[in-house]
Structure formats: C-alpha cells, structure tokens
Structure 1
Amino acid sequence: MSLPKGIDFRPPWPLSSGHIQTMLSSSGVRRQLLPRAAQTVQDGAEPVMVDGGDGVRLTGAYTAQKHRPQARGLAVLFHGWEGSVDSTYVLQTGSRLLADGWDVFRLNFRDHGDSHPLNEALFHSCRIDEVVHALADITRRWPAQRVALAGFSLGGNFALRAALRAPEAGIPLSYALAVCPIIDPGEGLFSLEETAPWFYRAYFLRKWRRSLQAKQAAFPHRQYFELDELKQSLRGLTESLVLRHTDFGSLQAYLDGYSVAGDALKALNIPATILTARDDPVIPVDAFEKLELPPNVELDIATHGGHCGFIRGYDMTSFTDDYIAARFNALL
C-alpha cells in the first residue's frame, strides 16, 4: 500500500509560504472556515480525569467510534505547547481518525486547557514521567488491540519520548507519529529569539503569560513569579521557570532534559514517523537532518507546511489528517 509522503504536499499560493501556514494553523479564522466534519470528535466526547502518578491529575476526552462493529484501535493525541484537547489540529485529526473507525483519546498536559487548578506545581517540558504514567492509565482503562500515538510540536516531542519509554512502562504502543516535533530545544529557543520574526515570540509569550496568570489565580497563596520576571523575554522567563520551579541547575540542563537530538532516538524500537517541513519558521530543519535514527523510524521532510500547518486549501483542512490516518490504518 502506498502511503502519502511529505513531498506530496503541494499547496497553492499563498499557502506555499511557511509563515502563512504557521499563522493559519491555530488561527480563529481557520476554525471558523473548517467544515463541520473536522470537529465531530467533540460530539459525545467523555471528559476524563487520568492518573499521572504521585497524585498528579491530568484531564482528557475520550470519544468512541460508531462507524465499525469493532474499533480499529485506540488513537491517543497530544497537543502542542499552550494548546489543548480542543486545538484545531487536534480536533481535525481526531475527527478523521474517528470517521475511520478509531476510538480517540485527547490528553491535556498539566496546566493546559482548563486544568490549571488540578496540580499546584507548574507545567514544564521535562514532565515526561506523568505523561507516560497517564498513557499507561489510558491504555489500561480503554484496552485495544492497537494503540497509536500522534503528537504535534511539543506534543510530538512528548510522543517520541513516551514511545521510548513505553516498553519498559508496559504500555502496548504499536506506533508513534510526531508532527513538527521539538528536536533540540536549545536550538529552537535560539531560532525563536534570533531568526524567527518577532510576532512568533509575541504569540508564545502572550499565551504563556495568560496561562501563568490562570495558574496564579488558581493558587493565590503561591507566588509563582515576580512581576518583573513576567516581563522578561522568552529566554529570561524560561530561565526563571527553571531556577524557581525545577531541580535543573541551569537553563541549558533543562533544555537538554527534553532534547531528542542527535542519537537520542536510536534506542526507539517502536515503529515511528517524524514529519516536518523545510519551511517551518519555528523549529529549524537542521536538527532533523542531524538525527541518528534506527531503521524503524521514518523521517519525512516536506518542502512546505510551516509549523504544524500543512493546510491544503481555502477550506482550511490539513494534509496531516490523511497522512496520520493512512499510517494508523496501515497498522491493520
């Protein structure tokens, strides 16, 4: 069976611009233009609390398929940084997989969606243990013949790290797919600061500060940051997070803590795919080209797509829906 490849994505102008793709990927305009079928995963979705271990509680949403006598399997979706289970790209992918006969679980990371009041400690990108524990809880509660995992951006990074740990954790994971995952966080932070247009930094900082304000409101007895710290640059605020709220002794140690660069994925023995775009303005393609991967991991670098965009046309649907569904369905 022939599977779609990144090279097959050839969007019309002006969607051939990586910046246009990236800006549209999470925009309200796109959400308004999407066909109703791209949001059906919300219909009948069951809000769920899952166990992250050590008293950590994470939220999610489970939707059972109704198109086949028996589900193809369980599809688990991870959103990106400051996204949620209701991010446009998560809804699109989930709806497509649901239509193809997959049960779908969408997981919120700590402090994402409306989950700020659940855990007093702040989210940071090295909290892989609780995500793996939650994935184990999900697969125990909704057992399936096949479990496939897909993540976007930071969620793609989490998906790859979860796949590395899945066998030891007893998680019956069949396949993992990462769309535009963060590979080298240090290089990505440098890119956002030094080479990406200013509005990307402004976008991420605005969303992060809003999230931190929600956290502070949920736990008024804690002082998570000083006011001056909240006014810092992306690098400065990240360093304050590391020194105040983690056991890492430096910003670089923290960034290395969730890196999957170089040969970090050589031990990955679960089949996996990494899809990215050469024109991604947020995550430099160089980090992908330097990866040392085992034969069971497919690296697919498209010419176009921006950061988690891959928008096909003016209906705002995404090439990644077909791409992910085809690879999940091929597990059969």
Structure 2
Amino acid sequence: MHNGKLKPYRPPVWLRNGHIQSVWPTLFRKVSLPGVEAEILATDDNDELHLDWYRQGSDRLAIVSHGLEGHSRRPYVLGLARALMADGWDVLAWNFRSCGGRMNHQPRFYHSGATADLNAVVGRALSEAYDNVFLSGFSMGGNLTLLYLAEQGERVNSRISGAVTYSVPLDLAGSADVLALPSRRIYMQRFLNDLQVKMREKSEKFPDLIDVSGFERIRNFHEFDNRYTAPLHGFRDANEYWEQCSALFRLADIRVPALVVNAADDPFLSARCYPQSRRALGHHVRMEVPDWGGHVGFVQHARDGLYWSERRALGFVRQSL
C-alpha cells in the first residue's frame, strides 16, 4: 500500500501480455485454504448447490462466485478468500450447478443470468447472523453478481454492503464474438472440451431433451448457446439469452457500491465491456481499467502471496464499509 492507496497495477514487463496473464495463474498458482466446511443447499426445483464455508467466527461474510467452467476451489477463488480471511472475513465460495466435480440433477445447468441460484446462496448466508455480506465474482460470476444486484435494485437487503468483480463479460454477445475469433481458438476449444464432457453426461440422463450428436462440430458460443444454453434455460435463442443476461444493460439499477475491474488487455472481452458513462454505470458502480491483467490474472509476485486484484478488493471492501 502507498499513502493508504493502492498503486496502479504495473506488472513486470514479461507479464504485460493479456494471454500470459490469463494462463499463468492456472498453470503456476497454488493456494490452499484449510478448514473448509462443505454444505449441500437444496434448491426450489429439486436440485442442489454445493457450498464451501470458511468460518472464523466473524460478523462479516464474503460470497465468492467463480467463472465459466470454474469451481469453488480454483486458485483465483481461494486467493481472494485467503486475502479476505486475513482481513477478518468469513468466506462462502459456491459452485454453479454442474461445477465442482458434481453433476446436478435437473436438465438445466448454469448460465450467466442464473440469479435465482445466487439469490438462494445469498438467502442462506443471510440466515446466519452476519452484520455485513459482501459479494464478489470473477468473469461470468462477476456478471451474475452484478445482474443479481441490479435485479434487487432498491429491495436489496440492507446487510449487503457491496460487491467487487473482475474480468466481467458485461456484454455477453460481444464477448462471444471475441471468443469466436481464430486467435482465441485455444480458449474456446478448452471451454468446449469441458462442456462436451458435461453435455454427454446430461444426454445419458435426459436423452429426449439433450442430443450430443455432432457436438465436435461446435466451434463457438453462438453455436453452443443456441443449441444448449438457450433452450435448456427458457430463452428463444442465444441472442435473447445474451441480451437478457448481460449485466451491461442493468448496471444503473444497482444500489450498493460495486467495483468492476476489467483489464484493457483481457483477451475475452469486447469493447462494450468497458462502459465509462455515468448513464451506463449509474451512481453506485465504479469501472476501473488497468492496462494489464489479462482475464482473471493481475499476477503479482509479493512476499505475502497476494495478487494485485486481491489488494484492490481489500481496499474497496474497507472503503465500502
């Protein structure tokens, strides 16, 4: 920290590359957090969500939402959880349906606008005696967090004190276009490989609803979301899904302090994922665009093991309280 304020993110020269930033933590970062308590939360539609609690008797709780095809024990989730715990918070990290190594029971899985699931998790958190609940999310989990807060609007629970989000595809259609570029093929293929395994498992359980023949011909999210995400979650097509679930169009409805940190070199985001106007952001959302950081990167080699994004989160959380 510097004069109580965090310096802008300036990584070493070799990390000033969005692709290296995006891949580095996945390959080289190890974070372990002892003392996890697993809980299975039943949903209203006979499904379940898997939660990881890290409790140390605090009166403040942070809820962490992971990204697309991520899970609650990814290094970026645990890194933020560890930083928040050192700052006196309890943490609740949760898994979207079908994530974390356990397939869910219903034909539906997760999507960028599945706010009912986040609402169930928040409700579970508020049933405990916490004075403050803070939300955080990475990538798709960031979009979900912001969309949830926008939908809550004026009705937002008075114990929810704010949110911090990173690498958020606020414009889902634009981000799908970016990931469809030939230069992003390596990322797209990795997502599709993971999703193919899940859809195969689902098609065995629900053969009348889910057909995986020809899946290997799917090349991008336009095709995947049109074929699977949209129909399984009640949308007409991918475009309707993206339009209804992009937090971009709802940011001005948010009524608690919320921070969006999107790196300028993020290889997943479209130009519209960086709104700057007060009209788009509303009065409670703050947009920060560091030059570097990639997608859920913000790598920092520090003695305490914290990444820059975790330091920024702590600063924003303290300010919001």
TM-score by shorter chain over 0.5 = yes
- Are the aligned partners of 1:192 and 1:200 in contact in 2 as well (CA < 8 Å)? yes
Please name the residue that 1:311 is paired with. Answer: 299
Alpha-carbon distance change, 4 to 236 in structure 1, aligned in 2, over 3 angstroms? same
- Are the aligned partners of 1:186 and 1:255 in contact in 2 as well (CA < 8 Å)? yes
Sequence identity percentage: 23
2:43 corresponds to 1:57 = no
Please name the residue that 1:175 is paired with. Answer: 162
CA offset digits 1:192-235 (Å, max 9, x no partner): 11264321211221222233234446x36665223213531122
- Are the aligned partners of 1:58 and 1:118 in contact in 2 as well (CA < 8 Å)? no
Please name the residue that 2:275 is paired with. Answer: 289
SS of residue paired to 2:77: helix
Structure 1 spans left out of the alignment, 5+ residues: none
Letter in 1 for 2:226: E
Shift of 1:247: 2.2
Equivalent-residue separation in structure 2 for 1:243 and 1:161 (angstroms): 18
2:277 corresponds to 1:320 = no
2:87 corresponds to 1:100 = yes
Please name the residue that 2:131 is paired with. Answer: 145
2:14 corresponds to 1:14 = yes
Q: Give the alignment of 1:161-310 within 5 angstroms.
A: 161-166=147-152, 168=155, 170=157, 172-194=159-181, 196-216=183-203, 219=205, 224-234=210-220, 235-242=222-229, 244-262=231-249, 264-289=250-275, 292-310=280-298
Alpha-carbon distance change, 276 to 72 in structure 1, aligned in 2, over 3 angstroms? farther
Equivalent-residue separation in structure 1 for 2:216 and 2:273 (angstroms): 29
Larger RCO: 1 or 2 (CA < 8 Å, sep 6+):
1
Shift of 1:317: 4.8
Structure 2 spans left out of the alignment, 5+ residues: none
Equivalent-residue separation in structure 2 for 1:94 and 1:192 (angstroms): 29
What is the root-mean-square deviation in Å for CA atoms of aligned residues?
2.4
- Are the aligned partners of 1:80 and 1:155 in contact in 2 as well (CA < 8 Å)? yes
Equivalent-residue separation in structure 1 for 2:312 and 2:302 (angstroms): 19
2:43 corresponds to 1:45 = no
Equivalent-residue separation in structure 2 for 1:16 and 1:285 (angstroms): 19
Alpha-carbon distance change, 286 to 256 in structure 1, aligned in 2, over 3 angstroms? closer
Shift of 1:268: 0.8
Alpha-carbon distance change, 195 to 227 in structure 1, aligned in 2, over 3 angstroms? closer
Please name the residue that 2:146 is paired with. Answer: 160
Equivalent-residue separation in structure 1 for 2:121 and 2:114 (angstroms): 11
SS of residue paired to 2:32: helix
Letter in 1 for 2:21: Q
TM-score normalised by structure 1 residue count: 0.86
- Are the aligned partners of 1:53 and 1:134 in contact in 2 as well (CA < 8 Å)? no
Please name the residue that 1:82 is paired with. Answer: 69
Equivalent-residue separation in structure 1 for 2:182 and 2:217 (angstroms): 21
Q: Greater CA deviation, 194-203 or 294-303?
A: 194-203
Shift of 1:249: 1.5
Please name the residue that 1:30 is paired with. Answer: 28
Alpha-carbon distance change, 163 to 220 in structure 1, aligned in 2, over 3 angstroms? closer
- Are the aligned partners of 1:117 and 1:215 in contact in 2 as well (CA < 8 Å)? no
- Are the aligned partners of 1:50 and 1:57 in contact in 2 as well (CA < 8 Å)? yes
- Are the aligned partners of 2:189 and 2:219 in contact in 1 as well (CA < 8 Å)? no
Alpha-carbon distance change, 52 to 178 in structure 1, aligned in 2, over 3 angstroms? farther
- Are the aligned partners of 1:111 and 1:215 in contact in 2 as well (CA < 8 Å)? no
Equivalent-residue separation in structure 2 for 1:307 and 1:300 (angstroms): 14
TM-score normalised by structure 2 residue count: 0.89
Equivalent-residue separation in structure 1 for 2:95 and 2:229 (angstroms): 22
